[in-house]
Amino acid sequence: MAKIPSTRLAPRPLDGDSSPWLVGGDFNEITHPAEHSASTVTSFTPHIVEFNTCLSQLEIRDLRFHGPRFTWSNKCSENPIAKKIDRALINEHWLDLYPNSLAKFLPPEFSDHSPCCIILDSPLPLAGTKPFKIFNYLTSHPDFLSLVAEFWTCTETEIHTLALLSTKHKELKRELKRLNKENFSEIQKRVIETNSLFTHAQVLSLQQPTCPNFAAEKELRDKLNMLRRVEEEYFKQLSRINWLKCGDLNTSYFQKVAKARKAYNTITILIGMNGFEATSPEDIGNIAVSHFQSILGPPTHKTSPVSISQVADLIRTDWNERLHRGNHRSVDQIIAKTTTIIKNRISAMRPENNSLASDLMQYWFLHFP
């Protein structure tokens, strides 16, 4: 297949047209070294850079897809090579019209390329409780610091444990969620409503140029500017773009990128080790839990005071044995080394995720300072 320079594919972005575009097929080029099976491919070649530049100029991106990691192979058992060179690319208007669309790559069968099936309306799993997230714009609220200080010190005690730290986090999370809900929830709706009130106040000031009307217009202008900054910071954080700063009202660009990321990263299917395809939130959650349990190991037994005392006795016995071995190290050296070993062993148990390790750490510092 003759290679056509990617910069000649189109002279202008496809988003200049209001029509939804889907460009699919064999592009004969990868966009990242990870899309090549060979471990020796680790850098961006000029052809890869050129292809990515072309996609950026066209303002098209990969449609969310499901299937094998690679879509082409050379079918050579002596020197097997696989790449992802088949793709389905979409523009923003396609994403607006078909937000739940999905590209499904199927087994290649007799071909060396995987066929692609476009599903226009792939049902999305209903999300459960959303994880708590602190948005950066909350720090600009005048009550933020005082609120954090108040609810961080209200649970202060003389005993410092991980359980107490968790309690502080829960109390603070509840108040930050309330602060966000009361002042910044549905930020886009707030911007639209405030903008409508502001334009109405401008017309009223021109019709009746009085001091109260001008003061009301200024107040609404300040509020609108503040909400627009919050909206921009909100979508910037969702888009995860770090190279572009807020302040230039890049809200529409941040929103576009955030929408594309959400559509691309939405998990609709998880395949278990036995080949079972999970599509419901319950099945997807069960596969995820099973996967991490196999990595982290079985749950630990519940901590009891007896188990802590037994461990403390073992520590004392170990110390006594080391002290009577007759080696040339001093008692202080033995104690210092044993203390370091025990602290490292307890820390390796991840006290922040393990109640037994947390209680051991607390017991250690209380009885063996």
Q: What pLDDT was estimated at residue 81?
A: 92
Give the residue with greater pLDDT, 344 vs 249: 344
Q: For residue 68, what are the CA distances in angstroms to 87, 133, 154? A: 12, 32, 53
Q: What is the pLDDT of residue 85?
A: 94
CATH of domain 6-119: 3.60.10.10
Q: What is the pLDDT of residue 243?
A: 43
| Cα–Cα distance measured from residue 141 to residue 131, given in angstroms and rounded to the nearest whole number | 22
Name the H helices within 99-161.
Answer: 144-153
- Of 350 and 340, the one with more pLDDT: 340
| pLDDT, greater one: 37 or 340 | 37
Angle between helices 187-207 and 211-239 (to 10 degrees): 160
Domain boundaries, the chain: 6-119, 126-185, 191-266, 267-298, 305-367
Q: How far is CA 241 from the centre of its chain?
A: 13
pLDDT digits (tens, 9 = 90+) for 79-128: 899 999 999 998 888 888 888 888 989 888 888 999 999 988 876 666 55
pLDDT score of 78? 87
Contacts of 194 (CB under 8 A, 6+ apart): 220, 223, 224, 227
The residue ranking higher by pLDDT, 116 or 331, is 116
User: Is the pLDDT reported for residue 305 higher than 60?
Assistant: no
Q: Which residues pair with 5 in a beta bridge?
A: none
* Average confidence (pLDDT) over 296-319: 58
Tokens, residue 221: 């202008």
pLDDT of residue 5: 46
pLDDT at 15 over 60: no
Confidence grade of residue 232 (pLDDT, cut at 50, 70, 90): confident
Cα–Cα dist 251/241, whole Å: 12
Average pLDDT rounded to a whole number, residues 35-41: 91
- Among 83-87, 102-106, 152-156, 308-312, which is the least confidently predicted range? 308-312
Rounded CA-CA distance 279/270 in Å is: 7
Q: What is the largest CA-CA distance in the chain?
A: 99
Instruction: Tell me phi and psi for residue 220, to 5 degrees.
Output: -70, -35
pLDDT at 6: 44
186-215 per-position pLDDT tens digit: 888 888 898 899 999 988 888 888 898 899
Please give the structure tokens belonging to residue 75. 């079918």
User: Residue 113 forms beta bridges with which residues?
Assistant: 72
Is the pLDDT score of 297 beyond 50? Answer: yes
Give the span between the Cα atoms of 52 and 31, in whole angstroms: 6
Average pLDDT, the chain: 75
- The DSSP symbol for 113 reads B
For the record, the structure tokens of 366 come out as 């209380």
pLDDT score at 345: 63
Indicate whether 325 pLDDT > 60: no
pLDDT exceeds 50 at position 4? no
